[in-house]
Structure 1
């Protein structure tokens, strides 16, 4: 790829980081999607940005479909590239956005997957132990389940964000929005034990910092590091099916609603800007009620 393209991509990434305030994880996705497209474009012999046409875009989409890529993944790539070319038009680098005419068929929204309470017990069981990392992992899992925060939000938590007296935590959400989320006695106990007994032990060989969760070297845990830990715990618990760490957030919301919490409260706790984002969980709770009814009513 040309030096000029790299400069434009770097400027776009800065725009996403500063003006759009996107997370590092989201920005990495944009960067990867754009670079993959331009590797393909170079293979086709198209040298200049303003030479890319709708026909090139269709060729690229054909390549993605030939790879049998998931429609959701293709839709994400189109969105990333459409945004990049829109930025180039805005900056007067090119005249037209070749992705303007691309329409991606929308998939029916899938219901969020979640863990049942028995599955959560299995997850917590694999965290039991006396080693520093086991104590840290239990605190991490307890906090995520207690608050429903995103993995990226969890990585950003500092010691000063936790109020043990009130049992609330200040979460730094998307778009620089902040919210206070309470946590229960199990998370309270696990956090206090981790901070008082093991955090300093893990950090003994590095310069002190205030981030709550640290890795085995004592440096702050990244979102990727937290995902790795959760994936490993899920694997050790031998839970079946398609599982991903974000399910803890879905589980938090689903269990609250199943136990009588109101929608607005759950929306606020999750940090959703719109109630419609939270309402998808009502479909899960209705399905849960239906299955419970069919399983237990004598004339179902």
Structure 2
């Protein structure tokens, strides 16, 4: 009976993953994260010899599962687990397998909103100036940092950037983001300048391996860079200048958005450039520096 039950769960999970990929257009990483939440529930039911099927599992069972799990994970992870399970059961409702969501009345723990670390303009300049241009990879690394900061890219978007994605005459690059969604992001002259230097002086002299002819940023062997390599580049530069902040390639993206907002760019424009599906994701940057809000009130309110 338990084997049959487990098979039902695995089939439901398989169908759910297909739904996330086809209907929601989520990336593999996102699908894996959602699946992991359901896997934890399946494992719990198996360990407790439960024969409950996805279509009839109750709120009480979910509450007990969350209670047991909360003993070993923090509030943020617990909130993420509840959100993932809620999405799974919403899918079952969407497919008419269930009439209600067993997590409907289960509240996520209250957690403080974690604000991303950012770099000042001076720190950005210090990091870029610390690149050793006497080495061939120096020009590449400078172009990488300029692109991360100048265009606000995710590291996955950067390493997948293609020569055919560069529309310098029009002042844009084409970026493929989460769920293979594409957007056009403006690129400033200085970023174009350093990409062109890298292309002409370094990339054109590499022996490029088959399949990587259109990839912009390559390693010394003519292959695509990895995410880990970009993390290593930023970490080593931070150590070189004695930066006390803990940074990653994503820090440049956060800094891009924060500096735009501080200089009075509107949230909708920042949302489009970052490729956020919802503007509520972009709104986190409002919490980083509220001084621009006071300026906006004084400048635009009729009672100023």
TM-score by length of 1: 0.77
1:16 aligned to 13, 20, 42, which one? 20
Encode CA deviations 1:124-150: one digit per residue, 9 max, x unaligned: 244333445443332222101001123
Partner of 1:294: none
Is the Cα–Cα contact under 8 Å of residues 46 and 52 in structure 1 kept in the other structure?
Answer: no
Give the Cα–Cα distance (whole angstroms) in 2 for the partners of residues 211 and 281 of structure 1: 31
Alignment partner of 1:191 is 2:195: yes
SS in 2 for 1:99: coil
* Deviation for aligned residue 1:16: 0.9
Give the Cα–Cα distance (whole angstroms) in 1 for the partners of residues 67 and 220 of structure 2: 44
SS in 1 for 2:175: strand
Give the Cα–Cα distance (whole angstroms) in 1 for the partners of residues 139 and 167 of structure 2: 20
Alignment partner of 1:120 is 2:124: yes
Alignment partner of 1:171 is 2:175: yes
SS in 1 for 2:78: helix
2:92 aligned to 64, 72, 88, which one? 88
* Deviation for aligned residue 1:66: 1.9
* Deviation for aligned residue 1:233: 4.6
Partner of 1:147: 151
Is the Cα–Cα contact under 8 Å of residues 37 and 84 in structure 2 kept in the other structure?
Answer: yes
CA shift in 2, pair 1:204/1:156, >3 Å: closer
* Deviation for aligned residue 1:169: 0.9
Give the Cα–Cα distance (whole angstroms) in 2 for the partners of residues 40 and 203 of structure 1: 52
Partner of 1:56: 61
Q: How many residues align?
A: 289
* Deviation for aligned residue 1:266: 3.1
CA shift in 2, pair 1:169/1:205, >3 Å: closer
Give the Cα–Cα distance (whole angstroms) in 2 for the partners of residues 202 and 46 of structure 1: 59
Is the Cα–Cα contact under 8 Å of residues 41 and 56 in structure 1 kept in the other structure?
Answer: no
* Deviation for aligned residue 1:21: 0.7
SS in 1 for 2:173: strand
CA shift in 2, pair 1:173/1:216, >3 Å: same
Give the Cα–Cα distance (whole angstroms) in 1 for the partners of residues 176 and 237 of structure 2: 25
CA shift in 2, pair 1:84/1:260, >3 Å: closer
CA shift in 2, pair 1:94/1:259, >3 Å: closer
Superposed counterparts of 1:200-279, under 5 Å: 204-215=208-219, 218-221=222-225, 226-227=230-231, 229-231=233-235, 233-234=237-238, 237-272=241-276, 275-279=279-283
Partner of 2:301: none
TM-score by length of 2: 0.77
CA RMSD of aligned residues (A): 3.4
SS in 2 for 1:171: strand
Question: Which segments of 5 or more consecutive residues in structure 1 lack a partner in the other structure?
Answer: 291-300
Question: Which segments of 5 or more consecutive residues in structure 2 lack a partner in the other structure?
Answer: 295-304
* Deviation for aligned residue 1:17: 1.2
Give the Cα–Cα distance (whole angstroms) in 1 for the partners of residues 48 and 237 of structure 2: 44
Partner of 2:103: 99
* Deviation for aligned residue 1:162: 0.6
CA shift in 2, pair 1:130/1:18, >3 Å: farther
Q: Which moved more, 1:261-270 or 1:99-108?
A: 261-270
Is the Cα–Cα contact under 8 Å of residues 150 and 246 in structure 1 kept in the other structure?
Answer: yes
CA shift in 2, pair 1:265/1:154, >3 Å: same
Is the Cα–Cα contact under 8 Å of residues 264 and 292 in structure 2 kept in the other structure?
Answer: no
Encode CA deviations 1:62-118: one digit per residue, 9 max, x unaligned: 33432241x222212211122122323444556654323321134343444311123
